[in-house]
Chains A and B, each alone.
Chain A
Amino acid sequence: MVGHIKLAGLIAIFLVVFFPSLTLAQDVNFGVSPAEVRINDLPPGEATEFELTIRNKDEIAHVFTFATFQPPEEERREGRAEFPDDSWISFSSPGIELAANSQANVTVTVAIPQEQKWAGEHWETWLGVAAESSDLLAIRLYVRLLVSTNPAAEARFNAGLVAGIVVGIVLLGYGSYYYFRRKTKSE
């Protein structure tokens, strides 16, 4: 029995670790604006950009990193589908260092490939901004990015096609008429 107690004591002694233990607890506080960005009528094949402002409200400098995040369906705005490809979104910098109580901008570019299937879509994705830290608790702020592509792309394509066909038929008709008229005259 004594042996068992000793063994249990040894196990307790050996199986110990340290979790990060610093003497002073720090807070973390920063902000991102705007909280939501809506891009409307972005035609497939085109790109647009906007700026996010990151404000470090802490008394110490922080490195802020940026990444896209696919929100779960129940968190998306009504009528919004999953953004098809995160690689269509890029940041001017993967991260920035901000001094205490200072702010900076990062440019976000959204580029939609030129494919007809991306016309008339309504997507949502989140842009995550996080302060790098080795502390136990960290904060990440998400900016909602709502992107709607130009629904007229398909109509525009069809209208152009119709116009082209009409002009082609007219020119062909006129050419034929002119040809046969000259031929008749020469005979």
Chain B
Amino acid sequence: MKAVITSIVVAIILALIFSLPALAQESGTITITMTGVNEISISLDKTQWPLGNVASNTEYETSPQIEWCTLTVEGNCNVNTFIVGEDAEWVDNPGAYKWTLSSDGTNGENVYGLQFRISGDTTRGPLVDGYVPVTKIESEFWPYSGGSGSSLAPDDTKQFGLKLLTPTYFIGGRQMQTQITISAVAA
């Protein structure tokens, strides 16, 4: 009888040993770490390109060509930056007519090309001339794979320009609008 009671007590103690830490974990702390007081911030000194009328199958470049806009790292953390474009839509009726943004900077019927070039970048891009297509898939702006550059530090700047290649054919007399988004994330 005594042995049975002892074994039961031992079993209960063992059970408590297993279950108490588990119960303790139920009230475990969730830790949220905000990385310092880091602020991510970039600025662009230009956001508009007043092109006016354009002709079909024609290239337009910003002026100055590659120092048209300045991106500045305003926050206090290093950043990697990206760029993405979109189709150009008819301002008066966006769903009714658009120019599709090509995936390689070339053009076609109702298809337009956009490229960017960063100042000092002379060998980047498919034609090794520094120009890189802006596509509908977010891709590296700076730094970039295969390049020797590193993430941009606070107060760093990058100057760049844009090149537009209009469609080989489009419906005239329509005001078109598009947007290029430059994004940044902490390096």
- Point out residues on A near B: beta carbons under 8 Å: 11-23, 25-43, 46, 48, 50, 55, 57, 71, 74-75, 126, 128, 130, 133-144, 150, 152, 155-156, 159-160, 162-164, 166-167, 169-170, 173-174, 177
Contact = CB atoms under 8 A, between A and B. Distances in A.
Interface stretch (B28-36, B100-108, B117-125): B28-36
Contacts of A166: 11, 14-15, 18
B46 interface: yes
- B interface: dominant SS: mixed
Contacts of B171: 15
Interface string B154-187: 0000000000100001111111111111111110
A164 to B, nearest CB: 8
Given A32-B40, A137-B48, A169-B11, A156 B26 contact: yes
Contact of B22 (A13, A18, A160): A160
B65 interface: no
B46 A138 contact: no
Contacts of A25: 45-48
A14 B172 contact: yes
A111 B178 CA distance: 36
Contact of A173 (B8, B169, B182, B186): B8
B47 A138 contact: yes
A42 to B, nearest CB: 5
